[in-house]
Structure 1
Amino acid sequence: MAKITSGVGTSHVPAIGAAVDKGMTAQPYWHPLFEGYEHARKWIEKEKPDVCIIVYNDHASAFSLELVPTFAIGVAPEFQPADEGYGPRKVPTVKGHPALSWHICESLILNEFDITIANEMPVDHGLTVPLSIMYDQPEEWPCKVIPLAVNVVQYPQPLGTRCFALGKAIREAVESFDEDLKVCVLGTGGMSHQLQGERAGFINKDFDIAFLNDLTANPERLIQMKHAEYLRDSGSEGAELVMWLIMLGALKNPKELYRHYHVPVSNTGAGLIILDSE
């Protein structure tokens, strides 16, 4: 059967993708960040997941305010890189796993999660930057990808409790899929940052470090965190971190293997954590 063996939480800052694409990773500003990614790249090369479920938020590439699904899963055989402000990234086409995607959708919907099924969906930096963080610049991505887009842009966003429960339901769905697959779940977004208003540029390193710690030390605190706490303590865009809780819920007895944190990256705190799952 298929099995979720690991999880990764990572920022998906668009400037990280631009640094990769423009060959800027060795520059003094970027070197400390990418130096910390080397361990993660060596780890995933050894781990070799067959499929990565990437939990991310769309930035008006696939969806607009005219249509805002709370949770949407891509079931297509492939997903094209989308315009993300810098222009479409020159990265490989993202290859899907339709059989597992449809199985997860069926399992979730029959488990009373109202999932939007996306038969066609472009993917922007929210999804492709995490792939670049983990895999650098391959000619083809070494894994199949299942995109799971989460609304963290238009209020009301899903609560951490719902996201964690969704992760648990995804684990149940994957483990009932009758094919021998190794699956890694990536929760992306954040960490603390705010892009507008009087607090534009806000970063809270203490909040970010505490969040990384409590993914294993006190996950219940994170699961119960409300929207207002994210807004106050991590900035208006810090609520993206609820997507890490979907990743966390998909793991069994998670154990921290590696972490990396660096500030500033563009105007954010950038974090990465690798968790093992029994």
Structure 2
Amino acid sequence: MARITAGVTTSHVPAIGAAIDLGKTQQEYWAPLFKGYEYSKRWIGEQKPDVILLVYNDHASAFSMELMPTFAIGTGEKFQPADEGWGPRPVPEVVGHPELAAHIAQSVIQQDFDLTLVNRMDVDHGLTVPLSLMFGQPGAWPCKVIPIAVNVVLYPPPSGRRCYELGKALRRAVDSFDGDLNVQVWGTGGMSHQLQGPRAGLINREFDNDFLERLVNDPEGLSQMPHVEYMREAGSEGIELVMWLVMRGALDDKVTEKHRFYHVPASNTAVGHLILENS
């Protein structure tokens, strides 16, 4: 049977992708950030996942204010890097797993989560930057990826509790898939940041590190955090952190923390990263 073996969280700052693409990773500004992912690259090279369920938010590349699903799953065979205004990132195409994606869709919808099925869409930095951080710059991504898009752009976003429960539904779906697959779930976005208004540039180290700790050891309690607290403490874009709860809901109640990393700044954002393994 398929099994979820581990979860990863990471920020998906677009400037990180630009630093990789332009060969700036060893520059004084960027080197400390990329050093925090050296262990991660070794770890994932040893884990060799077959499929990653990659939870991210689209940034008006596949969806827009005209159509914004709360939860969507990519069921296609391939997904191209999106042109976000300056050309697509020079990264490999993303290869999906339609059979597992279709099974997940059926299972999760039968559990009363109304997933939108997307057979064709381009994927932006929200999905490709995490892949670059973990895998570097290969000629092809070494595993298949199922995109799971969450609306944290257009009001109202889903609650942390709903995201946590979606993770549990994904776990049940994967557990019931008739195939021998090593599956990981990644939650991306965050941490504290705000891109506009009087609080632009906000970074809240205390909140971020408390969030990391609670995500590992008190996910049930953390899932109850209301939207207003994310906004007040982590900035308007800090709401992306609810996507990390999808990952955590898909894991065991008790997990083994393999790696934790926190760094500021990366562009105007705090970067957080966790690797958790099911016990």
Which category describes the TM-score, using the shorter chain as reference length? over 0.9
Q: Do 1:36 and 1:260's aligned partners in 2 also have CA atoms closer than 8 Å?
A: yes
Partner of 1:123: 123
Q: Distance in 2 between matches of 1:20 and 1:266?
A: 14
Q: CA deviation at 1:220?
A: 2.6
Per-residue CA deviations over 1:104-135 (Å, capped at 9, x if unaligned) read 00001111110100011110000000000100
Partner of 1:273: 274
Partner of 2:99: 99
Q: Do 1:248 and 1:254's aligned partners in 2 also have CA atoms closer than 8 Å?
A: no
Partner of 2:262: 261
Q: Give the letter aligned to residue 261 of structure 2.
A: H
Partner of 1:174: 174
Q: Give the letter aligned to residue 62 of structure 1.
A: A
- 1:119-268 correspondence runs (5 A): 119-252=119-252, 253-268=254-269
User: Which piece of structure 1 moves more, 251-260 or 125-134?
Assistant: 251-260
Partner of 1:61: 61
Q: Give the letter aligned to residue 260 of structure 2.
A: R
Q: Do 1:194 and 1:236's aligned partners in 2 also have CA atoms closer than 8 Å?
A: yes
Identity, % of aligned positions: 64
Q: CA deviation at 1:216?
A: 1.8
Q: CA deviation at 1:221?
A: 2.9
Q: Distance in 2 between matches of 1:85 and 1:125?
A: 12
Q: Do 1:166 and 1:246's aligned partners in 2 also have CA atoms closer than 8 Å?
A: yes
Partner of 1:40: 40
Q: CA deviation at 1:86?
A: 3.8
Q: Distance in 2 between matches of 1:220 and 1:100?
A: 27
Per-residue CA deviations over 1:41-93 (Å, capped at 9, x if unaligned) read 00000010000010000000000000010000000000000022442101000
Q: Distance in 1 between matches of 2:248 and 2:66?
A: 30
RMSD (CA atoms)? 0.7
Please report the TM-score for the alignment, with normalisation by the length of structure 1.
0.99
Q: Distance in 1 between matches of 2:196 and 2:147?
A: 27
Q: Per the alignment, in what secondary structure is the counterpart of residue 215 of structure 1?
A: helix
Q: Distance in 2 between matches of 1:251 and 1:106?
A: 20
